[in-house]
Amino acid sequence: MPASFHFLDDVALADLAFDAEGDSIQELFEAASNAVMEAMADPTTVGAMWERHIEHVAHDPAELLFDWLSDFVYWKDAAGVVFSRAAISLTHVGVEWTLAGTLLGEPVNRTTQELRDDVKGVTKHLYRLHRDNGRWHVRVVLDV
């Protein structure tokens, strides 16, 4: 089954929530990344002239994903960009998880991009990453 995400209309009234899943933790991270990008803007309307390489190390994959998703919000605000693509590489050695990621996007342009919600943060409300029957799942609530 391919990685996927779907937005949840009935979980967070003032915010935006989604569930993401994948057969591997790599797929889960990709699906959650796609959900955050889709929440901000239609990625098909965003170019890839802006690029940022990011690396995080953590003992807990939930913490790693939280930090990675928070990077989208940080760079949206710090650089004024929205995103068209995210490339991720995850490694797990001993007790450490390492994420090497690249965000691709371009500065906000209301005339050419379909902008959506102004995501202000990734919250810990209902945040849960787990593996069930060999499949990885996460629930994320975004502050919008």
Model pLDDT for residues 24-83, shown as the tens digit of each residue = 999 999 999 999 999 999 999 999 999 999 999 999 999 999 999 999 999 999 999 999
Average the pLDDT over 92-115 and give the result: 97
What tokens were used for 119? 């995501």
Residue 100 amino acid letter:
A
> Cα dihedral angle (59, 76, 21, 88), rounded to 10 degrees?
-60
- Which pLDDT score, from 0 to 100, does residue 12 have? 64
DSSP 86: E
What span, in angstroms and rounded, lies between the C-alpha atoms of 97 and 92?
Answer: 4
Average the pLDDT over 89-110 and give the result: 97
- Which pLDDT score, from 0 to 100, does residue 93 have? 96
Query: For residue 9, what are the contacts with CB-CB under 8 A and spacing of at least 6?
Result: none
Residue 1 amino acid letter:
M
What tokens were used for 115? 């902008």
Residue 72 amino acid letter:
F
Average the pLDDT over 1-15 and give the result: 79
Model pLDDT for residues 10-25, shown as the tens digit of each residue = 776 668 999 999 999 9
Average the pLDDT over 1-9 and give the result: 85
Contact 136, 19 (CB under 8 A): no
What span, in angstroms and rounded, lies between the C-alpha atoms of 22 and 44?
Answer: 22
Contact 22, 136 (CB under 8 A): yes
- Which pLDDT score, from 0 to 100, does residue 14 have? 64
DSSP 85: E
Check whether 96 has a pLDDT greater than 90: yes
Read off the pLDDT band of 3 (50, 70, 90).
confident
- Which pLDDT score, from 0 to 100, does residue 13 have? 65
